[in-house]
């Protein structure tokens, strides 16, 4: 009684020194490659420095503890999403003690014998959490692969109660009432060492770009990207706009439904287009996109009909408030 089960994360001895050495090697290689014609615009040294900052923050467990506390604050009113709680003062650079969260790996529910209604619900909960992180909180879990997601109370889920209809007889008039039923399922999100955030200017730009995709405004997408690009050596702006508009049109026709189009393939074509026209995005801008891509395989397996654009509309277009 009074004891709290915990999980203890410990960095491997010597890891800090090994990472520093590897980053020094990468920096040297990047410096050499910048002398290769055509590669200088990529700013490889700058990319390695940003990658180094990301890795170094990830192996300082004090950052992860702070991220957990911030996520718990953002999702305090959302019962469906849980995060471990760091146990202070047992938080150091190389040790993190946090609450132990019970749950089954979400990969257990990817099999054909799992309830289709349950899998669809898990996919919906995951994508709604991600959209909130991106467009509401501007604080995104950057490593949201299936290994970092646990499912609680799945055995309590009753798909027959998804929409509970009640017929009420009032003064000879039958009224159909939809009684909301509490969702017992919880998603537990782990390993929050990697986080993506955008500066306010870039956050608004990312939202505008995504909104333009929703509205099918391909050339507007291109204009926004060009205007806010970190580096832009595009020689044929008109061609870039036409090609981007074609990609957005493809996305609109398929509504970016995970069962109809591979989001990873679409975004790969977008980034190929950016590279071809020498347009470089902010790294965290790309990280936001990557966070969406990471959920593609999971979403496709759980619910082939999950529609990212449709789920994002209430947030982007203000039908559900801002």
State the catalytic residue, choosing from 143, 208, 303, 307: 143
Clarify whether 143 is annotated catalytic.
yes
The answer to whether 213 and 267 are in contact (CB under 8 A) is no
Residue 281 CA to residue 230 CA, distance in Å, equals 5
- Look at the alpha carbons of 256, 258, 264, 265 in this order and tell me if their dihedral is positive or negative: negative
Q: What 3-state DSSP class applies to 217? A: coil
Q: Tell me the two tokens of residue 178.
A: 């939809």
Residue 60 CA to residue 19 CA, distance in Å, equals 12
Q: What 3-state DSSP class applies to 102? A: coil
Distance, first Cα to last Cα, the chain: 44
H or E, element range at 196: strand 195-196
- Catalytic residues, by residue number, are 143
């Amino acid at each position: 009684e009074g004891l709290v089960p915990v999980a203890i994360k410990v960095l491997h001895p010597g890891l800090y020194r090994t990472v520093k050495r590897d980053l020094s090697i990468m920096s040297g290689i990047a410096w050499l490659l910048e002398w290769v014609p055509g590669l200088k615009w990529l700013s490889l040294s700058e990319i390695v420095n940003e990658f180094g900052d990301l890795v170094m923050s990830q192996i300082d467990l004090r950052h992860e503890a702070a991220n957990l506390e911030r996520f718990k604050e953002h999702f305090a009113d959302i019962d469906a999403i849980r995060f471990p709680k760091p146990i202070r003062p047992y938080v150091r650079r190389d040790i993190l003690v946090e609450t132990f969260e019970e749950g089954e790996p979400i990969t257990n529910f990817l099999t054909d014998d799992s309830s289709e209604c349950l899998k669809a619900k898990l996919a919906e909960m995951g994508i709604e959490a991600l959209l909130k992180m991106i467009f509401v909180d501007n604080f995104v879990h950057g490593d949201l692969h299936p290994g970092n997601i646990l499912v609680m109370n799945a055995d309590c889920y009753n798909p027959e109660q998804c929409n509970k209809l009640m017929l009420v007889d009032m003064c000879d008039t039958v009224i159909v009432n939809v009684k909301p039923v509490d969702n017992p399922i919880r998603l537990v999100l782990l390993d929050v060492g990697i986080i993506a955030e955008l500066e306010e200017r870039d956050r608004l730009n990312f939202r505008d770009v995504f909104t333009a995709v929703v509205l099918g405004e391909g050339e507007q997408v291109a204009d926004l990207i060009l205007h806010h690009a970190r580096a832009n050596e595009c020689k044929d702006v008109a061609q870039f706009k036409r090609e981007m508009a074609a990609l957005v049109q493809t996305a609109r026709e398929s509504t970016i439904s995970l069962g109809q189009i591979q989001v990873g393939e679409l975004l790969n074509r977008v980034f190929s287009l950016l590279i071809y026209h020498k347009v470089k995005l902010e790294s965290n801008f790309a990280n936001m996109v990557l966070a969406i891509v990471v959920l593609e395989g999971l979403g496709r397996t759980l619910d082939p009909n999950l529609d990212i654009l449709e789920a994002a509309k209430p947030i982007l277009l203000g039908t559900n408030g801002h």
